[in-house]
Amino acid sequence: MFDKIKEIIVEQLNIDDSDFINLDTNLQEDLNADSLDAVEIIMNIEEEFDIKVDDDELENIKTIGDIVKYIENNK
């Protein structure tokens, strides 16, 4: 699951070297994702994993690990 999420993020943000990306990677602080990037990443993840992320939960998703936990808890 982590690898697929990482792939989505790398593609969305056009990241060349993704070796540093791990579960603790912060979307905004470490990857410089703005709010539009974050929404597009979540939309792609929703489609890939066939889930729906509630708007209220978006503000709680800061790291890739947060995304993984959310998917695991809401599948």
State how far the Cα of 40 lies from the Cα of 12, in Å rounded to an integer.
8
**pLDDT for res 55:** 86
Read off the pLDDT of residues 55-70 as tens digits, 9 standing for 90 and up.
888 889 999 999 999 9
- The three-state secondary structure class of 10 is helix
H helices within the chain, ranges in order? 2-13, 35-49, 55-58, 64-74
Residues in the chain predicted with pLDDT less than 70, given as ranges, are: none
Give catalytic status of residue 16 as yes or no.
Answer: no
17, 19, 24, 34: the active-site residue? 34
**pLDDT for res 75:** 83
Which domains, from first to last, does the chain contain? Answer: 1-14+21-74 (1.10.1200.10)
